[in-house]
């Protein structure tokens, strides 16, 4: 009997000789469960039969754990069936590694993270909540779960540091606060121990071996406000990675999704703006201020003043007129996004996720112009500066393009990668897996990692959808009619995506991966009125 016939007879057909599953103890909820492989198309009557037989012969009650949306729906119809959902298990989980790695640093327990808390690059942070942004650090431990595609975790992968969820971590690590430790985050567990002198000596030695300064490429001769359809991947040196990659996808003409239309203001105009407002000299002075270099609190305040100066600068009159002309012609009466697109993201060993600012739903002329200046100013976000400094990137060679793009007031949004970040085993069943996280409304909360998203894995070989978590959100973000976004409450735990939409997203992701040479991709998407929109694709960093 071949493998295909075996699968069909035992997992796909309703008329089967055997019911094949697993009984396991779920320690986070202290319950025994029986479950089936997520690709098993077992019908309701056989789930009920299995529950009856198992509970007649087992020494303690055994609940059913559905592993797919189909099993969830089939079992929900069975009267009196005791169930344990993956969401309940995840909620009570004590440890989850988001990026496995070893870190050496000083433990810093932070009950409440705000702009007044100073963070060192040599610290392993113990946080009570998932941050939206962080400067480079030696490790991240949070007491609230997050997702592997949050901006913070993408940065952690790029920095090669551990990033984990540990229940009650602030209490568990109280004895280590302020001490240098070695923290080893593994897939199944973690270890922490105080560092010895030899480890600290080796750390100081590595610190002195400064990386060669990286100078990202740019072409300041390009002055055209180019539509996305006029760009290709090679346009990155004038329009930045985000914009150029979207242009490449438009040229690929893949079915099943749409790229929202837009045009991009190239690097030339960021450079022009700085020079016309005498800000290039001000930036040079700032970067050579020795107190700025050595004092983090002073540096943070100086960068805030620099962003304010950029915001107050005057945009070139001809450029302003051309931007507004294009905006009125291409997006009449619509809100648009001003998206950051730099030459300092998606570089080797430097992801740049979440470091720069994008502005949503800009509706008036003033909102659009001020939004563009906000994006330009975000080159000097504290976290962006710190990350570039750690990576050895020349700050004076950084340029910001701005993508002006149709705003999609999405019903659901999220991120997906063309791999399963939780299971990197080489088994054939995992080949081509697509991980998807999703939330209702606009996608900011997903990429920021502020709330648990719905997380699923689609395995094309088995044509199965495995549900990892359901969304725990109690609100969603939507466009405000006056510009910007607003938050509105929602209720009830229910599926964000149907199996049909999941399969459509997975098909889109697989096609996008092929466009970029078969390299795994980290993709941001939106869904509205039956249409899938792709708003970003960047190389995925698998990390540890």
| Domains within the chain, CATH numbers bracketed | 3-90 (no CATH), 95-205 (3.50.30.10), 226-406 (3.30.1490.20), 412-539 (3.30.470.20)
Q: How far apart are CA 339 and CA 95, in angstroms?
A: 35
481/151: higher pLDDT: 481
Q: How far apart are CA 110 and CA 119, in angstroms?
A: 10
3-state class of 407 per DSSP?
coil
- pLDDT value at 516 more than 80: yes
Question: Residue 513 is encoded by which pair of tokens?
Answer: 């991966």
211/529: higher pLDDT: 529
Nearest to residue 479, comparing CAs of 443, 438, 446, 523? 443
According to DSSP, the residues that pair with 181 across neighbouring strands are: 105, 194
Q: How far apart are CA 124 and CA 177, in angstroms?
A: 10
Q: State the DSSP H helix or E strand holding residue 404, giving kind and residue range, or none if neither.
A: strand 400-406
According to DSSP, the residues that pair with 130 across neighbouring strands are: none
Work out the angle at residue 280's Cα, subtended by the Cα atoms of residues 276 and 281, and round it to the nearest 5 degrees. Answer: 110
- pLDDT value at 124 more than 80: yes
Sign of the Cα pseudo-torsion (230, 235, 238, 241, in order): positive
Sign of the Cα pseudo-torsion (135, 140, 143, 149, in order): positive
Cβ–Cβ < 8 Å for 420, 430: yes
Question: Residue 298 is encoded by which pair of tokens?
Answer: 């002073």
Question: Residue 99 is encoded by which pair of tokens?
Answer: 């990026």
Between the alpha carbon of residue 238 and those of residues 157, 260, 335, 358, the distances in Å are 27, 20, 25, 18
Sign of the Cα pseudo-torsion (89, 90, 94, 95, in order): positive
Between the alpha carbon of residue 153 and those of residues 148, 168, 423, the distances in Å are 6, 20, 17
Position 39 scores a pLDDT of: 78
Kindly provide the b/e burial profile for residues 109-127, where b requires at least 16 CB atoms within 10 angstroms of the residue's own CB: bbeebeeeeebebbbbbbb
Percent residues over pLDDT 70 in the chain: 93
Q: Which residue has the tokens 């100073």?
A: 118
Position 238 scores a pLDDT of: 98
CA 61 to chain CA centroid, nearest Å: 39
- pLDDT value at 448 more than 60: no
| Greatest Cα-to-Cα distance within the chain, rounded to the nearest angstrom | 81
Between the alpha carbon of residue 245 and those of residues 254, 259, 345, 405, 515, the distances in Å are 14, 11, 12, 14, 10
- The number of beta carbons lying within 10 Å of the beta carbon of residue 196 is 10
434/387: higher pLDDT: 434
Question: Residue 350 is encoded by which pair of tokens?
Answer: 């430097």
Alpha helix (H) residue ranges in 160-278: 169-172, 197-208, 236-239, 241-252, 267-276
- Tens-place pLDDT, residues 22-67: 999 998 899 999 999 877 889 999 999 999 999 999 999 999 999 8
Work out the angle at residue 476's Cα, subtended by the Cα atoms of residues 258 and 364, and round it to the nearest 5 degrees. Answer: 65
72/449: higher pLDDT: 72
Q: What confidence tier does 313 reach under pLDDT thresholds 50, 70, 90?
A: very high
Q: Which residue has the tokens 């793009």?
A: 405
Question: Residue 31 is encoded by which pair of tokens?
Answer: 């319950």
- Tens-place pLDDT, residues 154-175: 788 888 899 999 999 999 999 9
Cβ–Cβ < 8 Å for 124, 103: yes
End-to-end CA distance of the chain: 38
Sign of the Cα pseudo-torsion (376, 382, 387, 390, in order): positive
- pLDDT value at 121 more than 60: yes
Q: How far apart are CA 371 and CA 81, in angstroms?
A: 54
Position 354 scores a pLDDT of: 81
Q: Which residue has the tokens 């893949």?
A: 254
Cβ–Cβ < 8 Å for 189, 199: no
Q: How far apart are CA 125 and CA 138, in angstroms?
A: 8
Position 380 scores a pLDDT of: 97
Q: How far apart are CA 346 and CA 217, in angstroms?
A: 12
- pLDDT value at 210 more than 70: no
- pLDDT value at 311 more than 60: yes
Q: How far apart are CA 487 and CA 496, in angstroms?
A: 17
């Amino acid at each position: 009997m071949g493998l295909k016939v075996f699968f069909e007879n035992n997992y796909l057909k309703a008329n089967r000789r055997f019911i094949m599953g697993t009984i396991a103890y779920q320690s986070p909820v202290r319950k025994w469960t029986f479950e089936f492989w997520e690709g098993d198309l077992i019908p309701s009557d056989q789930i009920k039969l299995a529950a009856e037989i198992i509970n007649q012969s087992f020494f303690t009650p055994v609940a059913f754990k559905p592993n797919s949306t189909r099993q969830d729906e089939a079992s929900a119809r069975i009267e009196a069936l005791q169930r344990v959902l993956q969401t309940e298990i995840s909620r009570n989980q004590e440890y989850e590694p988001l990026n496995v790695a070893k870190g050496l640093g000083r433990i810093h327990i932070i009950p409440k993270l705000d702009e007044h808390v100073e963070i060192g690059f040599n610290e392993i942070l113990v946080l009570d909540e998932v941050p939206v942004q962080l400067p480079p650090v030696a490790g991240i431990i949070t007491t609230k779960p997050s997702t592997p595609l949050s901006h913070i975790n993408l940065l952690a992968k790029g920095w090669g540091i551990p990033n984990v969820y540990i229940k009650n971590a602030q209490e568990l690590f109280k004895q280590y606060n302020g001490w240098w430790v070695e923290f080893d985050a593994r897939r199944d567990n973690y270890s922490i121990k105080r560092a010895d002198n030899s480890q600290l000596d080796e750390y100081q030695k590595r610190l002195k071996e400064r990386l060669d300064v990286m100078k990202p490429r740019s072409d300041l001769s390009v002055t055209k406000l180019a539509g996305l359809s006029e760009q290709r991947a090679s346009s990155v040196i004038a329009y930045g990675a985000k914009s150029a990659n979207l242009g490449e996808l438009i040229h690929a003409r893949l079915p099943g999704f749409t790229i929202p239309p837009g045009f991009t203001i190239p690097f030339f105009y960021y450079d022009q703006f700085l020079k016309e407002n005498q800000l290039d000299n001000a930036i040079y002075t700032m970067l050579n201020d020795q107190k700025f270099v050595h004092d983090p609190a002073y540096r943070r305040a100086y960068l805030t003043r620099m962003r304010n100066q950029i915001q107050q600068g005057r945009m070139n009159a001809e450029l302003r007129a051309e931007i507004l002309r294009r905006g009125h012609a291409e997006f009449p009466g619509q809100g648009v996004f001003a998206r950051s697109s730099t030459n300092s993201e998606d570089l080797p060993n430097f992801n740049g996720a979440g470091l720069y600012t994008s502005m949503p739903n800009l509706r008036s002329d003033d909102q659009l112009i001020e939004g563009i200046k906000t994006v330009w100013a975000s080159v000097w976000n504290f976290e962006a500066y710190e990350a570039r400094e750690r990576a050895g990137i020349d700050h004076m060679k950084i340029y910001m393009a701005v993508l002006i793009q149709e705003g999609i007031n999405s019903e659901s949004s999220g991120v997906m990668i063309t791999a399963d970040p939780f299971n990197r085993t080489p088994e054939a069943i995992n080949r081509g897996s697509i991980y998807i996280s999703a939330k209702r409304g606009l996608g900011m909360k997903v990429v920021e990692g502020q709330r648990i998203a719905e997380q699923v894995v689609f395995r094309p070989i088995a044509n199965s959808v495995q549900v990892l978590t359901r969304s725990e959100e109690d609100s969603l973000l939507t466009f405000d009619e006056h510009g910007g976004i607003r938050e509105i409450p929602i209720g009830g735990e229910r599926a964000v995506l149907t199996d049909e939409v999941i399969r459509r997203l997975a098909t889109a992701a697989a096609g996008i991966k092929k466009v970029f040479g078969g390299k795994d991709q980290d993709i941001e998407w939106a869904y509205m009125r039956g249409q899938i929109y792709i708003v970003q694709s960047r190389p995925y960093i698998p990390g540890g």
